[in-house]
Structure 1
Amino acid sequence: MRIKRLLFFCICVSILLTLFILFPPLKTRSSSSSSYSSPPLRQYPARFAYLISLSKGDVNQAKRLVYAIYHPGNHYLLHLDAEASDGEHEDLTQFIAVESVFREVGNVWIVKKSNIVTYRGPTMLANTLHAMAMLLKACDWDWFVNLSAADYPIITQDDLIYAFAALPKDLNFVHHTSHLGWKRNKRAKPIVIDPGLYSDNKSDVMWLPMQRSLPTSFKLFTGSAWTVLSRSFAEYCVWGWENLPRTLLLYFTNFISTPEGYFQTVICNSKLFKNTTVNHDLRYITWDNPPKQHPLPLGLKDYRRMIISSSPFARKFKEGDLVLDRIDKEILKRNPNNAFTYGGWCGGRIGRVCRGGNLRNSYGMLKPGPGGRRLRALLRKITLPSSLRKQQCR
């Protein structure tokens, strides 16, 4: 009887989570209600919507990340875990509120009603889908990027926009594989319950004393939890005009490390989107062998390999690591003292601290550098038709 009650509870939680995702509350705390009163004369050829997920103790690291990836042509949504203290929430709110550039452009928001997020449970996926829904309703963008406070860019945003400008806007960068290996028994078969779905007290997932067989109505895929997703695919996952995203949401509600499987399985089982996948997460990450739950921290010894990888982002960094200072100085052309990354929107002059500039006159201008050329070469290589066909949803 105890096992039957647990199964019934799992089903109920799954249905409630689905309703939460499909009908999310769209309340945000904005940096400002103001924005440009008239459309700029020049538009950027590619636009990005960022979700930056923060845990307790991440606020200072997140401030540095926001300055490093900020660009007036993009949009930014920050979520600070409900476990964080009231002081941390207030600190983050003040940071967004007092920055004059954020107030002028109005493209940086904070999720007002934060959620408990468990990394290995479905609450992380729920938070990501909720953020997608908010950004879809709030603004126009071409690609969705999820980051944590431990991430950092290794190219400028002008480089990123320049490189993506040459791509079809339906491409999705999702690292994936159907070769489950050790994940068959460690990820796919166990059944877990995430207390973050029903409790205000954060704790690890609960393991049920049973296992399930692999699904037969769809093929299971796993991969990196870090993605770059097209707007069209984000709409498909959030609005769910077909039953597949909802069905898989129910399945992954009780799946260990849900973010490593949901988007991979949805896109590779969708006839509409499976041919839009690029098998790359656009991150430089180093792992133990065999890989553990979290990647190895990056340091100065990894700097050259990061650059050679041509990836736009890298993880995982410790707060204040010296390699971040080197990235700021040599790649982003910024100093750590609350300055933005070098770019055409703030004057684009190397050696001058970027604090904003005349946004009306410089909006739409790009000043890409070597990072943009490296990334464009990487994108050209991994999106060749012959390369795509060999790696898509295998």
Structure 2
Amino acid sequence: MDGANKAQKKKKWFLPLVFSLLTSTLLITLSLSTSSYPFRHTPIQKPQAQLFVESKLHVSPTQANPIPRLAYLISGSKGDCESLKRTLKALYHPLNQYVVHLDLEASAEERLELVNFVKNEELFVRIGNVRVVVRSNLVTYRGPTMVSNTLHAAAILLKQGGEWDWFINLSASDYPLVTQDDMLHTLSTIPRNLNFIEHTSDIGWKEVQRAKPVIIDPGLYSLHKSDVFWVSEKKKCSYSI
């Protein structure tokens, strides 16, 4: 009698146990089949090619001086002498370096007036950080002569301007919105090796509209200023530079 009762009790709890195990197994199987997580393939991320040339350049160490120094090119043309002097005064700071340039379209009187202005300004003479490009260049807007004029000024600043951190190219029509003290204070908080020029080999639409067209700059061969003109031929882009 006791044996029959025990067998009946075992039968009562054995069937629910088996049923619960089967149910659990079924639920686990369904969850594994519907979830992609255990079988999700994570692709290996290949390192992207560096588009910016800064990653390949050796960066000079930052200067110990906490206050940065700026180098300015301020250029103008015919009729810009007064506005160039105004811009120079507004931008002037004893720590900075300056090159001013009036191109060949300006009259000889205007260029001489600019030279005398720099020579007779007491602060400029005492600090010695303002230079005039005496041999003026003929500069064509958007042409290679504009680039060569900028490089000419940068060469003067590198040779005669001592230590400076950033080069800024402005025209006589520009005017600062902040003082140089505020600007130098702001720039003192960022690394000196930071470059504000964005250069990348991924030039997109510029390849067709700017890199391939061929232009002629009259400033390279003429003493009279005129705009660049375009030729119908297109050149191939060179990626070796």
Partner of 1:180: 204
Partner of 2:67: 45
**1:57-107 C-alpha deviation (Å, 9 max, x unpaired):** 111111111111100000100011111101110121122122111111111
> Is structure 2 residue 136 aligned with structure 1 residue 105?
no
Partner of 1:366: none
Partner of 1:72: 94
Partner of 2:230: 207
Partner of 1:355: none
| SS of residue in 2 equivalent to 1:163 | helix
**1:202-247 C-alpha deviation (Å, 9 max, x unpaired):** 22223223112444x35xxxxxxxxxxxxxxxxxxxxxxxxx4xxx
* Structure of larger gyration radius: 2
Q: Which amino acid aligns with 1:97?
A: K
Partner of 1:82: 104
Partner of 2:219: 196
Supply the distance in 2 between the matched residues of 1:97 and 1:106 (Cα, whole angstroms).
Answer: 10
Q: Which amino acid aligns with 1:191?
A: V
Q: Which amino acid aligns with 2:136?
A: S
Q: Return 5+ residue gaps in structure 1 as ranges.
A: 1-42, 219-243, 245-394
Q: Count residues in correspondence.
A: 175
| SS of residue in 2 equivalent to 1:49 | strand
Q: Does structure 2 conserve the Cα–Cα contact (< 8 Å) formed by 1:44 and 1:161?
A: no
Supply the distance in 1 between the matched residues of 2:165 and 2:183 (Cα, whole angstroms).
Answer: 13
> Is structure 2 residue 155 aligned with structure 1 residue 133?
yes
Match of 2:82 among 35, 40, 60: 60
Partner of 1:10: none
**1:319-378 C-alpha deviation (Å, 9 max, x unpaired):** xxxxxxxxxxxxxxxxxxxxxxxxxxxxxxxxxxxxxxxxxxxxxxxxxxxxxxxxxxxx
* Percentage of identical aligned residues: 51
Shift of 1:185: 3.6
> Is structure 2 residue 138 aligned with structure 1 residue 116?
yes
Superposed, 1:1-394 pairs within 5 Å as 45-138=67-160, 139-175=162-198, 178-181=202-205, 183-215=206-238, 217=239, 244=241
Supply the distance in 1 between the matched residues of 2:152 and 2:114 (Cα, whole angstroms).
Answer: 20
Q: Which amino acid aligns with 1:180?
A: G
Q: Does structure 2 conserve the Cα–Cα contact (< 8 Å) formed by 1:44 and 1:73?
A: no
Q: Which amino acid aligns with 2:176?
A: P
Deviates more, 1:43-52 or 1:80-89: 43-52
Supply the distance in 2 between the matched residues of 1:81 and 1:48 (Cα, whole angstroms).
Answer: 23
Supply the distance in 2 between the matched residues of 1:74 and 1:59 (Cα, whole angstroms).
Answer: 21
Mark the CA change 1:92 to 1:187 in structure 2 (over 3 Å): closer, same or farther.
same
Q: Return 5+ residue gaps in structure 2 as ranges.
A: 1-64
Shift of 1:176: 5.4
Q: What's the Cα RMSD here?
A: 1.8
TM-score (norm. length: structure 2): 0.67
**1:302-323 C-alpha deviation (Å, 9 max, x unpaired):** xxxxxxxxxxxxxxxxxxxxxx
Shift of 1:184: 4.0
Supply the distance in 2 between the matched residues of 1:211 and 1:188 (Cα, whole angstroms).
Answer: 9
Supply the distance in 1 between the matched residues of 2:66 and 2:134 (Cα, whole angstroms).
Answer: 29
Supply the distance in 1 between the matched residues of 2:111 and 2:119 (Cα, whole angstroms).
Answer: 12
Supply the distance in 1 between the matched residues of 2:219 and 2:84 (Cα, whole angstroms).
Answer: 23
**1:264-318 C-alpha deviation (Å, 9 max, x unpaired):** xxxxxxxxxxxxxxxxxxxxxxxxxxxxxxxxxxxxxxxxxxxxxxxxxxxxxxx
Q: Which amino acid aligns with 2:119?
A: A
Q: Which amino acid aligns with 2:168?
A: V
Mark the CA change 1:56 to 1:44 in structure 2 (over 3 Å): closer, same or farther.
farther
Q: Which amino acid aligns with 1:89?
A: R
